[in-house]
Amino acid sequence: MKRILVVDDEANIREAVRFVLQEEDYEIMEAENASDALRLAVERKPDLIISDVMMDNGNGFMLREILKEDPVTASIPIILMTGAAQGAGAWDSDPTIGYLVKPFTAAQLIEALNFKVK
């Protein structure tokens, strides 16, 4: 079973993503901020991280940079969820990052997931 870490400071977003992904037989871990996500990524080594960009304690881009610096977590793929970054050109900043525009449907989440998790 593939393990996915879902990071968002909004509990309802984490719950919705968890619901969809559990229906697809993924093991889900949750973190409400970047600090908790970093700890879980090192301890549990998820197969994928789905993270919000804008959070109270850090952001998804910062989280990705820190993950890339650690050999234990450097290869973990990440999908960033946001409604704000597309206009700023962030979509083109790193081709290894997947993006989901909020709000997104369950089908869009699964499509992004299938692209990142083999």
pTM (two decimals): 0.90
Q: State pLDDT tens for residues 28-43.
A: 999 999 999 999 999 9
Q: Would you state the structure tokens that stand for residue 106, as one six-digit string? A: 């369950």
Domain count, the chain: 1
Q: State pLDDT tens for residues 63-83.
A: 999 999 999 999 999 999 987
Boundaries of domain holding 108: 3-116
Statement: residue 47 has pLDDT above 90: yes
21: domain CATH number? 3.40.50.2300
pLDDT band at 56 (very low <50, low <70, confident <90, very high): confident
The contacts of residue 78 (CB under 8 Å, 6+ apart) are 48, 49, 50, 51, 60, 63, 64, 67, 96, 97, 98, 116
Closest Cα partner for 28 from 7, 54, 12?
7
Mean pLDDT of the chain: 88
Q: Report the C-alpha dihedral over residues 34, 20, 46, 96, rounded to 10 degrees.
A: -80
